[in-house]
């Protein structure tokens, strides 16, 4: 049996500029993300007959990958050229649709497991590239590339997305005390709202909330915040880092001023009033998790508890997708 463990992620700066419709026109996108210690687990085992048996929120039993209903599993099996005699099961620490990159982590984890099943050693960066091909090109999902790359590579990492589809991986070098402060003082709170990122991003890219020129200008400012975030982290200026989280959220609200986002804005303001140095909504939007940077945490936790927004505690994952069991 093969079991892979693939981390979910939080985006820290530049979110939205990893979408092809932006970076292909702008020339590049830039984003910083961190893999977190919440995971998607994929188990792969050899079946006792020629069937393909899939267990996720549903159960499928088919004899050709082309007949699989689950689009990601179907395309992963086709991409890895696995056609029969296999059983795949999945579990996750956090439900899908909550802004932590679960779809990309799932795809990366499945590909990692399938290649291990075939006794193939494939670099994680190549797995991320294949996962993007599956989700964005084959399945035509209106999503970006950060989820697949940070899930595959892990750590606190920057990525530059080029118009020719190259993705440059840029490790962020932090002083050890700064790294400890970041890990200790980033807090996640669940809003209780779930919505697929592709739905939110498709609405934004359509220009439904304003002109396309306004959207591009907004994302240019978001990309600039990505670079500023890398600089603040490298210098160890975490007060500025917190402020940049809030500035990025304000740009997100400006390009998608929905009712739920106005509610989220109130929650973020409450968190900052309670002592957080900055905060934002993680992911494409429409719900999910609030992320705060707070060095004084007690009042923030009390404020979020009063709002009935439960905390999910986490650490940074530095391994990326891994095979944790192989036999």
pLDDT at 271: 98
Higher model confidence: residue 55 or residue 192? 55
Beta-strand relationship, 86-92 and 52-55: parallel
Q: Has residue 317 got a pLDDT over 70? A: yes
Contact 56, 89 (CB under 8 A): yes
Confidence of residue 284 (pLDDT cuts 50, 70, 90): low
Confidence of residue 85 (pLDDT cuts 50, 70, 90): very high
Contact 323, 3 (CB under 8 A): yes
| % of the chain residues with pLDDT over 90 | 87
Tokens representing 99 are 């802004």
List the domain boundaries for the chain.
Answer: 2-173+317-326, 176-312
Residue 316 DSSP symbol: B
Count of all residues that appear for the chain in the document = 327
pLDDT at 193: 82
Lateral strand order in the sheet of 311-312? 278-281, 289-293, 186-190, 311-312
CATH topology of domain 176-312: Alpha-Beta Plaits (3.30.70)
Confidence of residue 301 (pLDDT cuts 50, 70, 90): very high
Q: Has residue 202 got a pLDDT over 70? A: no
How confident is the model over 65-69, as a mean pLDDT? 98
pLDDT at 14: 96
The dotted CATH code for 2-173+317-326 is 3.30.230.10
**Bridge partners for 323 per DSSP:** 4
Q: Has residue 211 got a pLDDT over 90? A: no
pLDDT at 150: 98
What is each CA distance from 50 to 83, 116, 213, 246, in whole angstroms?
9, 19, 53, 53
Q: Has residue 201 got a pLDDT over 90? A: no
Q: Has residue 197 got a pLDDT over 70? A: no
pLDDT at 282: 94
What are the start-end ranges of the H helices in 206-315? 212-235, 238-255, 259-273, 298-306
Run of H or E residues at 169: strand 167-171
pLDDT at 195: 65
Over residues 19-28, the pLDDT tens digits come to 999 999 999 9
d(CA 291, CA 229): 15
Tokens representing 98 are 């909550």
Residue with tokens 């795809």: 107
| % of the chain residues with pLDDT over 70 | 94
pTM of the model as a whole: 0.94
């Amino acid at each position: 049996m093969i079991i892979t463990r693939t981390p979910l992620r939080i985006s820290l700066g530049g979110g939205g500029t990893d979408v092809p419709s932006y970076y292909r026109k702008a020339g590049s996108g830039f984003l910083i993300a961190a893999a977190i210690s919440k995971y998607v687990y994929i188990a792969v085992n050899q079946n006792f007959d020629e069937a393909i048996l899939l267990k996720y929120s549903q159960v499928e039993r088919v004899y050709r990958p082309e007949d699989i209903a689950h689009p990601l599993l179907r395309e992963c099996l086709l991409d890895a050229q696995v056609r029969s005699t296999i059983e795949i099961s999945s579990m996750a620490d956090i439900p899908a649709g909550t802004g932590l990159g679960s779809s990309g982590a799932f795809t990366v984890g499945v590909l990692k497991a399938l290649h291990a099943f075939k006794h193939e050693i494939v670099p994680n960066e190549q797995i991320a590239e294949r996962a993007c091909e599956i989700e964005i090109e084959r399945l035509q999902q209106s999503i970006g590339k950060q989820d697949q790359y940070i899930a595959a590579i892990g750590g606190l990492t920057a990525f530059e997305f080029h118009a020719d589809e190259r993705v440059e991986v840029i490790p962020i070098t932090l002083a050890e005390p700064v790294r400890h402060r970041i890990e200790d003082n980033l807090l996640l709170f669940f809003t209780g709202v779930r919505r697929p990122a592709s739905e939110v991003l498709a609405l934004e890219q359509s220009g439904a909330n304003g002109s396309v020129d306004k959207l591009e200008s907004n994302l240019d400012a978001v990309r600039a915040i990505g670079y500023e975030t890398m600089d603040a982290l490298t210098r160890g200026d975490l007060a500025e880092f917190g402020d940049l989280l809030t500035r990025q959220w304000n740009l997100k609200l400006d390009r998608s001023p929905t009712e739920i986002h106005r509610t989220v804005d109130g929650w973020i303001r409450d968190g900052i009033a309670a002592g957080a140095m900055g905060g934002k909504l993680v992911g494409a939007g429409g719900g999910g998790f609030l992320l705060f940077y707070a060095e004084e945490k007690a009042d923030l936790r009390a404020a979020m508890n009063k709002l009935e927004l439960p905390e999910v505690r986490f650490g940074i994952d530095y391994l990326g997708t891994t095979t944790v069991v192989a036999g």
